[in-house]
A and B are shown apart, each in its own frame.
Chain A
Amino acid sequence: ILNVEQSPQSLHVQEGDSTNFTCSFPSSNFYALHWYRWETAKSPEALFVMTLNGDEKKKGRISATLNTKEGYSYLYIKGSQPEDSATYLCASLTGTASKLTFGTGTRLQVTL
Chain B
Amino acid sequence: DGGITQSPKYLFRKEGQNVTLSCEQNLNHDAMYWYRQDPGQGLRLIYYSQIVNDFQKGDIAEGYSVSREKKESFPLTVTSAQKNPTAFYLCASSPHPSSYNEQFFGPGTRLTVL
Partner of B101, one of A45, A49, A91: A49
Closest to A3 in B: B42
- On chain B, the residues within 8 Å of A101 by CB distance are 42
Measured between alpha carbons, how far is A103 from B33 in the docked complex, in Å? 17
**B107 close to A (CB within 8 Å):** yes
Cα–Cα, bound, A43→B35 (Å)? 13
Q: Which A residues, 42 to 59, have Cβ-Cβ distances below 8 Å to chain B?
A: 42-46, 49, 51
Please name all residues of chain A whose beta carbon is closer than 8 Å to the beta carbon of B97 when the two chains form the complex. Answer: 98
Number of interface residues of B (CB under 8 A): 27
Does A110 lie at the interface of the complex (its beta carbon under 8 Å from any beta carbon of B)?
Answer: no
Contact, CB under 8 Å: B42 / A32: no
Contact yes or no, B100 A102, CB < 8 A:
no
B25 proximity list for chain A (CB < 8 A): none
Chain A residues bordering chain B, tally (CB within 8 A): 23
Q: Is A100 an interface residue (CB 8 A)?
A: yes
Number of contacts between A and B (CB, 8 Å)?
57
Q: A1-59: which have CB < 8 Å to B?
A: 4, 31-32, 34, 36, 42-46, 49, 51
Q: Is the interface of B mostly helix, strand, loop or mixed?
A: loop
- Cross-chain contact A100 with B99 (CB below 8 angstroms): yes
Instruction: Please state if A43 and B108 are interface contacts (CB–CB under 8 Å).
Output: yes
Cβ 8 A contact of A4, one of B31, B42, B101: B42
Looking at the complex, which one of B40, B98, B102 makes contact with A104 (CB distance below 8 Å)?
B40
B-facing mask of A74-109, CB < 8 A → 1, else 0? 000000000000000101010000111111110000
Which residues of A pack against B, CB within 8 Å? 4, 31-32, 34, 36, 42-46, 49, 51, 89, 91, 93, 98-105
3 nearest CB pairs, A to B: A46-B102, A93-B99, A102-B42
A104-B41, A104-B42 provided; 11 other pairs, C-beta below 8 A?
Answer: A31-B100, A43-B4, A44-B90, A44-B105, A51-B100, A91-B43, A99-B33, A99-B48, A99-B59, A101-B42, A102-B44
